[in-house]
Amino acid sequence: MVPGLGEHTGRYVHVGDFFQNAGFNVLGIDVRGQGRSGGIPGYVERYDQFLEDVRAGIRAAKVFPLFVLGHSFGGQLVLALAAGNEPNITGYLASGPWLALTTPPAAWLVWLGSLMNRIYPKCRFPTGIERSQNSSDEAHLDSLVDLDFNHGFIAARTFFEIISEARQLLADPRANAPILIAQGRPDPVTSVEASIEFYQRLEAPVKELMIYDGFRHELHNEKGRARVLEDYLAWIEKTILLEKPSAEPRAAM
């Protein structure tokens, strides 16, 4: 599992527990600058460094079938892996992937970020994401652990690296294995319209789009999260049936 920008795997314990109870091994990955991982919070020099971190987690899993689940920025990383022909992946799940923002930043802020990207790329800006944009279930959000490891910042370099990758993905949507894209509607953070456009042009062996009307950005933290997780599990089980039967343990990431 790969969290979104500024959060960490501690917010996904209930998701991991769900898949473990279904018989899967689960590994969470905090890429550099996230959670307990090293680096400057919210900063990366090159987008490929994020992918290197996820690939390290994939190598550590060592079990198949293997699925990679990512949310928001993590969902974008999942799409990037799929487009890069990552080997040994049984399927990809991208939740609310960052292909475009629902409300793009103001032009002056983009100009300032571009300037800082050239002269001081580690300069960090607030993401501006409000907690209420993620989920309508306030009590559940209160219950999530280790919130001190969250941060609400993104560095100038990181922003433009992510935006550049999003444009590349939208320009050439492809995946080398079955893929599920899931998103709430309306999603106050990442654009559901961009996800639909991506899906419609996506070239993949098997693809599926799940839209949850009335859900906000974090499907796995919404009041109807049980249905979402059951849908994910059903898709994973269906995808495994497409593969050659194996006696090896199963893994969800």
Whole-number average pLDDT of the chain: 91
Cα–chain-centroid distance for residue 109? 24
pLDDT at position 33, please?
87
At what angle are helices 225-242 and 13-21 packed, to 10 degrees? Answer: 50
Cα–chain-centroid distance for residue 221? 14
3-state helix, strand, coil in the chain (%, to 5): 45, 15, 40
pLDDT in tens, 171-187: 999 999 999 999 999 99
- Sheet with 207-213: strands ordered across: 24-26, 250-252, 66-71, 91-95, 179-185, 207-213
pLDDT at position 61, please?
84
C-beta separation of 180 from 232 below 8 A = yes
C-beta separation of 99 from 198 below 8 A = yes
User: For the chain, what's the residue count?
Assistant: 253
9-252 CATH: 3.40.50.1820
- List the one residue out of 100, 126, 95 whose CA is nearest residue 189: 100
- Residue 114 CB neighbours (<10 A): 12
pLDDT in tens, 72-107: 999 999 999 999 988 889 999 999 999 999 999 999
pLDDT at position 249, please?
45
pLDDT in tens, 207-227: 999 999 999 999 999 999 999
C-beta separation of 96 from 189 below 8 A = yes
Domain boundaries, the chain: 9-252
* pTM for this predicted structure: 0.92
Identify the band that residue 252 occupies on the pLDDT scale cut at 50, 70 and 90.
low
pLDDT in tens, 134-143: 998 888 888 8
